[in-house]
Amino acid sequence: MRERSRDNRGPRGRDDRGSTRVNLDARIITEGGEILVKEAEQRGQQLADQKLTTSQIRNIYGAVKKMQMKGGELDTHKLLMLKPKLAYAAKRHGGGVNTLKDVLTQAIDLVGDDSKKFNRFVDFFEAILAYHKASGGKD
């Protein structure tokens, strides 16, 4: 019987839950700008190709926008609670939602408790959605 590596990765870099490894450049969240836009364009196209629908992510996007609209301080607890929401949606829908979960989970980890980084996270999420739609993503 073949042993699994320490991180439970199975064949082709996928883990037992169907996720794929995502390596976001921290500058997407720390600096924003051109690198954020380029990465969002790539991810938006990838998600459209994986047949992700915007309705599959409205719940999460709505929660992010609600946090941003509160103004004031960043609620890191609510931000971290997006991770289980993403995991649930990924398990329920699979496909492109798995990719979105992997991307956003890593981006959330990069935010920490910094409000400026949170705003870049929101920009990144919005840009992904825009490029997803521009690439033929369906409602």
- 24 Cβ contact list (under 8 Å, min separation 6): 39, 103, 106, 107, 110
Region 86-109: what's the mean pLDDT?
93
6 occurs within a structural domain = no
48 occurs within a structural domain = yes
1 occurs within a structural domain = no
3-state secondary structure of 104: helix
68 occurs within a structural domain = yes
Half-sphere exposure of 105 (CA within 13 A, CB side): 19
What is the domain count for the chain?
1
Strand partners, 138: 53
Joined together, the tokens standing for residue 26 give 């921290």
8 occurs within a structural domain = no
- pLDDT digit string (tens) for 60-85? 899 899 999 987 689 999 999 999 99
2 occurs within a structural domain = no
Q: What are phi and psi of 95, to 5 degrees?
A: 50, -130
- 40 Cβ contact list (under 8 Å, min separation 6): 124, 127, 128, 130, 131
32 occurs within a structural domain = yes
Mean pLDDT of the chain: 84
Domain residues for the domain of 122 are 27-134
Q: For residue 57, what pLDDT is reported?
A: 79
